[in-house]
C-alpha cells in the first residue's frame, strides 16, 4: 500500500508539472516571430558587448578589445563605426535626452556622449577610490542611473588589484549630484535592467551564477531582494510582457515568476549581451564574441 501510494504521488506530481512545463515552453516559442531564424548582422569583431537602442531603433554596441563603438542601422541593417577610440567602453545605455552613456573602463569611468560625440566624464571614483570598472548601465524613468561595477583585470591596466573593497551596484541621481551604493554583497555583479515603470530592478551576479530582483523605492534605494533564478548573466533585457532575457550560453528567457520559458541557441562559445532594436523595437539584437545577430520577435523591448 505504501509503495503504491508513493507511485501514485509521483505520477500525480508528474502529471501536474508536465503540463505546466509544456505550457511554458509553448509560451516561450510564441515570443519568436513565426518562421524567423537567427541572422548574422555583422562579423569580424574581437568581443562585442553593450548593445543600446536609441529613439529611432538604431542599436549601438561595443567591440571592447578594439576600443570602438559601432552603430547598427534600423533602416537597412548596415553597421558603421560611431566612435574610435572609445575609452574601452563596455556597457552602453541611452539617457532620456538622447545622450549615450558608456561604461568606459579604460580609466574606470562613466561617460556621457552627446549627439556631437562630445564626451563628459560623469564619474571615475567613489569616496576617494577608483571604481573597479563600470560595466553595465540602466537608466530609470526619472533619469537616475544604476550601474554595476565588477572587477575584471584588463590587460591594458597598469594596476593589478582593485581599490574598492567590494564589487557593488551604484545609483547616480538625475542631476548627478548624488552617488550612492544601491546594492552590495555580490561576488561579481554584471548585467542589470529595470522595468518600464521604474519599480523593479534585476541584477545578475555572474560570479555567483544567480540573478536577483529588487523593489525600487521612491527614494531610489533598493529593498525586498529576492532570488529570481539560479543563473547569472553577462547582460540582460526585458520585453513588453515582463520576460527577462539573460545571456551566457545563448539567450535564456524567464517569465516574471523566474520560470525558464525559452532558450535561443547562438553559434558562439559565449553570448555577452542583448537588447531590442529596429523601427518597431521587435528585433532581438544579440552580441556574441566576434559577431552580432538579430532575430525577429513577436514581442517588443521597453524604454
Mean pLDDT in residue range 58-86: 98
208 located within any domain: yes
Predicted confidence band of residue 303 (pLDDT cuts 50, 70, 90)? confident
302 located within any domain: no
Number of domains making up the chain? 1
User: Which of these ranges, 23-32, 59-68, 79-88, 200-209, has the smallest mean pLDDT?
Assistant: 23-32
102 located within any domain: yes
19 located within any domain: no
User: What are the pLDDT digits (tens) for 96-144?
Assistant: 999 999 999 999 999 999 999 999 999 999 999 999 999 999 999 999 9
88 located within any domain: yes
Single pTM value for the model: 0.92
15 located within any domain: no
Reply yes or no on whether the pLDDT at 33 is more than 70: yes
- Alpha carbon distance, N-terminus to C-terminus of the chain: 58
Mean pLDDT in residue range 173-177: 95
User: What are the pLDDT digits (tens) for 220-276?
Assistant: 999 999 999 999 999 999 999 999 999 999 999 999 999 999 999 999 999 999 999
Nearest one of 287, 281, 200 to 239, comparing CA atoms: 281
Give the residue numbers spanning the domain of 43. Answer: 31-296
Alpha-carbon torsion 289, 292, 298, 300, what sign?
positive
- Cβ–Cβ < 8 Å for 147, 103: yes
79 located within any domain: yes
Q: What is the 3-state secondary structure (H, E, C) of the chain?
A: CHHHHHHHHHHHHHHHHHHHHHHHHHHHHCCECCCCCCEEEECCCCCEEEEEECCCCCEEEEEHHHCEEEEECCCCCCEEEEECCCCCEEEEEECCCCCEEEEECCCCEEEEECCCCCEEEEECEECCEECCCCCCEEECCCCCEEEEECCCCCCCCCCCCCCCCCCEEEEECCCCCCEEEEECCCCCEEEEEECCCCCEEEEEECCCCEEEEEEECCCCCEEEEEEEECCCCCCEEEECCCCEEEEECEEEEECCCCCEEEEECCCCCCCCEEEEECCCCCEEEEEECCEEEEEEECCCECC
Reply yes or no on whether the pLDDT at 10 is more than 80: no
Q: What is the pLDDT of residue 21?
A: 52
Partner residues linked to 145 by β-bridges: 139, 172
190 located within any domain: yes
Q: What is the pLDDT of residue 25?
A: 65
CATH number at residue 185: 2.120.10.30
Amino acid at each position: 500500500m505504501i509503495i503504491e501510494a508513493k507511485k501514485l504521488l509521483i505520477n500525480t506530481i508528474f502529471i501536474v508539472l508536465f503540463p505546466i512545463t509544456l505550457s511554458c515552453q509553448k509560451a516561450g516559442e510564441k515570443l519568436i516571430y513565426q518562421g524567423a531564424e537567427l541572422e548574422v548582422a555583422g562579423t569580424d569583431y574581437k568581443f562585442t558587448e553593450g548593445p543600446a537602442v536609441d529613439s529611432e531603433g538604431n542599436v549601438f554596441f561595443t567591440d571592447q578589445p578594439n576600443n570602438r563603438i559601432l552603430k547598427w542601422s534600423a533602416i537597412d541593417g548596415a553597421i558603421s563605426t560611431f566612435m574610435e577610440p572609445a575609452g574601452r567602453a563596455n556597457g552602453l545605455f541611452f539617457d532620456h535626452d538622447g545622450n549615450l552613456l558608456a561604461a568606459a573602463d579604460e580609466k574606470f569611468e562613466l561617460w556621457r556622449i552627446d549627439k556631437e560625440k562630445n564626451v563628459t566624464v560623469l564619474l571615475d571614483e567613489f569616496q576617494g577610490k577608483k571604481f573597479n570598472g563600470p560595466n553595465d548601465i540602466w537608466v530609470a524613468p526619472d533619469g537616475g542611473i544604476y550601474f554595476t561595477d565588477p572587477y575584471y583585470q584588463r590587460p591594458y591596466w597598469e594596476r593589478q588589484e582593485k581599490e574598492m573593497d567590494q564589487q557593488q551596484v551604484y545609483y547616480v541621481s538625475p542631476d548627478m549630484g548624488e552617488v550612492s551604493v544601491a546594492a552590495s554583497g555580490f561576488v561579481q555583479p554584471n548585467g542589470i535592467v529595470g522595468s518600464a515603470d521604474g519599480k523593479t530592478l534585476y541584477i545578475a551576479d555572474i560570479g555567483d551564477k544567480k540573478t536577483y530582483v529588487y523593489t525600487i523605492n521612491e527614494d531610489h534605494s533598493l529593498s525586498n531582494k529576492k532570488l529570481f533564478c539560479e543563473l547569472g548573466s553577462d547582460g540582460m533585457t526585458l520585453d513588453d510582457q515582463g520576460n527577462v532575457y539573460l545571456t551566457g550560453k545563448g539567450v535564456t528567457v524567464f517569465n516574471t515568476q523566474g520560470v525558464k520559458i525559452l532558450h535561443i541557441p547562438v553559434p558562439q562559445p559565449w553570448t555577452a549581451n542583448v537588447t531590442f532594436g529596429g523601427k518597431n523595437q521587435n528585433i532581438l539584437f544579440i552580441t556574441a564574441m566576434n559577431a552580432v545577430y538579430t532575430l525577429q520577435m513577436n514581442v517588443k523591448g521597453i524604454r
